[in-house]
Amino acid sequence: MNTVSEKIIARHLVSGEMKKGAPITIRIDQTLTQDATGTMAYLQLESIGIDRVKTELSVSYVDHNTLQSGFENADDHQYLQSVANRYGIIFSRPGNGICHQVHLERFARPGKTLLGSDSHTPTAGGMGALAIGAGGLDVAAAMAGRPFALTMPEIIGIRLSGKLQHGVAAKDIILKVLQLLSVKGGVGKIIEYFGDGVLTLSVPQRATITNMGAELGATTSIFPSDERTLEFLKKQQREDEFEEIKADQDASYDQIIELNLDELEPMIALPHSPDNVVTVASVAGRPIQQVAIGSCTNSSYLDLCTVANIVRNKTIAPNVSCSLSPGSKQVLSMLAENNKLTDIIKSGIRLLESTCGPCIGMGQSPASNAWSLRTFNRNFYGRSGTLSASVALVSCETAIASAITGVITDPRTMDYEPALDLPYYTIDDRSLIQPQCDPNAEIIRGPNIKALPKNEALPDHISKKVMIKVGDNITTDDIMPAGAKVLPYRSNIEKISEFCFMNQKAAFHDDCIKEHGGFIIAGSNYGQGSSREHAALAPMYLGIKAVIAKSFARIHQANLYNFGILPCLFKNEADYDMIDEMDELEFKNLHTIQGDTTLVVMNKTKGRSFMVYLPCTAQQAEFLLKGGLLNTLKD
């Protein structure tokens, strides 16, 4: 009577009991990193001091920051390649594709656990893998053979019935789920899909859905492994890696949501949140200035073949700039071999490299006040690189139909041939470099690779000021922005910390330096979005000792423990309103922390005290007291 998730967790359980909300640890079979989080993860792996990775398979991808307009990124790529070679990690070259797309094609396996230093790692859930996003330090620890700690999630079952109709896509399924559950709806939960409608979806379509499950705040999302999974693995010449894993007939879910695909319409997430979802029909006719197609959510062969079929013999509207980034070299090769690329190029679409590109603000920032339709997974304020832009999230069908007309367009109004999957895929792994795993192999460190910052052990008594007070749903992009100006410094914490909270409070960095750190006050769902551990690491470097929030997003909260910052919850949320920036707060008796703890915090400026709750396991208490996981691992 088990779900797919429970079956995989049971096989990998190292410690704990599989009771909802109980702490458990699981064995990790595979890891992945991308370059924006990878340099830090591998510096951490080096400092743990092992001979070679202990996982079945680890892959280092370069997909986020491939522009080489200065030496910094090139230095990082060289470091990543040489450290992968030394420790037994496969290296995916820049241009080979987006980590999740390439991993789905070449490595993801049903029934395996995958830990990735990227929040969209659950993409591999489309293959029936239990794939979880985490901070780079957790991934480094997993590569060193340490089990991954989490709380046993609740399982939401989404029963799919019916079949997607003309103009409606897998992206519309996940946008609908986001409308129903919101960006907080998946916190502490696994989203598992089942029902007759599942068989109507291919693995890449399923992967679009599990990918964007990250926006629900879910631990992961997963589909069963069935005949469609086998079909995909056969085309990837990996059928020997297939294993059927389905939920038992009488599996029980903590909640069930019914979704009839026959009735689903094209959906759109309006600015500036992925759950601000309405039907495309309700906003049709609004002028747009930009369309960007691609990202780890929507860049499979079938997605881009659909784009090619819709745009065939048509032209992009003169008022629209339309770009397309294929998800991988495999996708790009297949588009070329099947003449689909010609239709794309002829239409006036700008073809970009097979990387994250505009999704992480690397190029294609919209014009001032422009409306941009994107097939991506996030439309947080400022992520596109243009603060005044309005970014909306849609399927490939809606994106290209709108690019042709110049206004938001319901793709059901367009006639086009449905994209047909190929009987075979093009397999060419030459851009996946196998490691030598030689302990004497040189690790190349250019000047952009700086030493890891160290954290001190937690003092027993802290009296410092509030450096910033922020509202609800603050994203890791808000805390530590990305984009072409910032990303080159991801291995240089001193430099990257200058950009911390730059769009919220320009003086944050200077105040922290002047006051030797302090505290952050936040509303609910603090740290939603990416797994970017720089959003914890840079505040740690700047001396932030605690974040007091109404609630936290899972990965960011784990990153705070890992870097020795206390993630405290208001006992009484009304106390949030009684604190101002630059108030002086005092914590005492911190050395008594052993597990879940209630602490009394004195607001010396206001002359009143309030209570906070610090949820933590004995292990997390140890991290906090020692100044972070890395100090613990070194011990």
Please tell me the distance from the alpha carbon of residue 453 to that of residue 630, in angstroms, as a whole number: 11
Which residue, 86 or 383, has its beta carbon nearer to ligand F3S? 383
**Which C-beta is closer to ligand F3S: that of 90 or that of 356?**
356
What distance in Å separates the CA atoms of residue 570 and residue 538, rounded to the nearest whole number? 23
- The whole-angstrom distance between residue 616's C-alpha and the CA centroid of its chain comes to 24
Min dist CB 293 to ligand F3S, Å, is 12
CA dist., res. 10 & res. 21, Å (int): 15
What 3-state class would DSSP assign to 469?
strand
Q: How far is the CB of 11 from ligand F3S (least distance, A)?
A: 27
- Min dist. Cβ of residue 60 to ligand F3S (A): 14
**What x-and-dash track marks residues 82-101 binding ligand F3S by CB under 6 A?**
----------------xxx-
Name the residue nearer to ligand F3S (CB basis): 76 or 343: 76
Nearer to ligand F3S (CB atom), residue 120 or residue 314: 120
**What angle separates helix 554-562 from helix 534-541, to the nearest 10 degrees?**
40
Supply the minimum distance, in Å, between the C-beta of residue 600 and ligand F3S: 41
**Residue with Cβ nearer ligand F3S (31 or 85):** 31
The residue range among 150-158, 301-309, 355-363, 615-623 that interacts with ligand F3S, by the rule CB under 6 A, is 355-363
Q: Using CB under 6 A, which of 296, 305, 370, 502 touches ligand F3S?
A: 296
CA distances to 331, 474, 498, 548 from 480, in Å: 32, 11, 9, 18
Among 377, 386, 390, 473, indicate the residue that binds ligand F3S (CB under 6 A): 377
Q: Which stretch binds ligand F3S (CB under 6 A): 43-51, 161-169, 353-361, 491-499?
A: 353-361
Cα gap 139→146, rounded to integer Å: 9
Tokens of 347: 């239409």
Judged by CB under 6 A, the residue of 247, 359, 599, 624 near ligand F3S is: 359
Q: Does 383 bind ligand F3S (CB under 6 A)?
A: no
Q: Which is nearer to ligand F3S, 98 or 169 (CB)?
A: 98
**Minimum CB–partner distance for residue 379 and ligand F3S (Å):** 11
Q: What residues numbered 31-90 form the site for ligand F3S, per CB under 6 A?
A: 64
In the complex, the smallest distance separating the C-beta of residue 357 from ligand F3S, rounded to whole angstroms, is 8
Contacts of 116 (CB under 8 A, 6+ apart): 31, 32, 33, 34, 99, 100, 103, 131, 132, 133, 134, 139, 531
If DSSP states are collapsed to H, E and C, what string results for 10-25?
HHHEEECCCCCCCEEE
Nearer to ligand F3S, 325 or 597 (CB): 325
H/E element, 77: helix 71-87
How many other C-beta atoms can be found within 10 angstroms of the C-beta atom of residue 109? 22
283 CB-contact burial (10 Å; exposed 0-12 / middle 13-18 / buried 19+): middle
Size of the site for ligand F3S (CB under 6 A): 12
Q: Which of 96, 229, 295, 525 binds ligand F3S (CB under 6 A)?
A: 295
Nearer to ligand F3S, 98 or 130 (CB): 98
Q: Which of 12, 86, 120, 556 binds ligand F3S (CB under 6 A)?
A: 120
Q: What are phi and psi of 572, to 5 degrees?
A: -120, 110
Tell the smallest beta-carbon distance from residue 308 to ligand F3S (Å).
20
Q: How far is the CB of 178 from ligand F3S (least distance, A)?
A: 15
Region near ligand F3S per CB under 6 A, out of 354-362, 401-409, 532-540, 619-627: 354-362
Buried b (16+ CB within 10 A) or exposed e, 303-315: bbbbbbbbbeebe
* Residues 411-442: b if buried by 16+ CB within 10 A, e if exposed: bbebebeebeeeeebbeeeebbbebeeeeeee
Residues 443-482 that bind ligand F3S (CB under 6 A): none
Q: Using the 8-state DSSP alphabet, how is residue 164 labeled?
A: P
Residue 299 or 409: the one with the smaller Cβ distance to ligand F3S is 299
In the complex, least distance from residue 376 CB atom to ligand F3S, rounded to whole angstroms: 6
In the complex with ligand F3S, the residue whose CB is nearer, 53 or 296, is: 296
Where do the H-state alpha helices sit in 445-567?
476-479, 493-496, 508-515, 534-541, 554-562
Give 488 or 517: the residue with its C-beta nearer to ligand F3S: 488
In the bound complex, what is the minimum distance in angstroms from residue 476's beta carbon to ligand F3S? 12
- Position 490 contacts ligand F3S (CB under 6 A): no
Between 302 and 547, name the residue whose CB sits nearer to ligand F3S: 302
Residues of the chain by 3-state class (helix, strand, coil), percent to 5:
35, 20, 45
**How far apart are CB 212 and ligand F3S at their closest, in Å?**
9
In this structure, what token pair is assigned to residue 262?
């026959």
DSSP calls for 249-289: TT---SEEEEEEGGG---EEE-TT-TT-EEEGGGGTT-B-S
45 Cβ contact partners less than 8 Å away, ≥ 6 residues apart: 53, 83, 87, 140, 143, 144
Q: Quick one: CA dihedral 22, 248, 132, 521, positive or negative?
A: negative
Q: Give the nearer residue to ligand F3S in terms of CB position, either 152 or 302.
A: 302
Local structure of residue 596 (DSSP, 8 states): S
**118 lines the binding site for ligand F3S (CB under 6 A):** yes
**Tokens, residue 515:** 């006051």
Minimum Å gap between C-beta 532 and ligand F3S is: 10
Which residues ranging from 244 to 263 are in contact with ligand F3S (CB under 6 A)? none
Q: Which residues in 117-275 belong to E strands, given as ranges?
A: 130-133, 148-151, 154-161, 189-194, 220-222, 255-260, 267-269
d(CA 388, CA 368): 6
Q: Least distance from C-beta 234 to ligand F3S, angstroms?
A: 26
Closer by beta carbon to ligand F3S, 32 or else 548: 32
User: Cβ 496 to ligand F3S, closest distance in Å?
Assistant: 17
In whole angstroms, the minimum distance from the beta carbon of 531 to ligand F3S comes to 10
CB of 27 to ligand F3S, least distance (A): 25
Query: Which residue in 83, 84, 360, 565 binds ligand F3S (CB under 6 A)?
Result: 360
Name the residue nearer to ligand F3S (CB basis): 347 or 377: 377
What per-residue string of b and e applies to 318-341 under the rule 16 or more CB within 10 Å gives b? eebbbbbbbbbbbbbbbbeebebb
Is 356 a residue that touches ligand F3S (CB under 6 A)?
A: yes
**Residue among 63, 68, 72 nearest 33 (CA):** 63
Cβ closer to ligand F3S: 294 or 628? 294
What residues line the site for ligand F3S (CB under 6 A)?
Answer: 64, 98-100, 118, 120, 295-296, 356, 359-360, 377
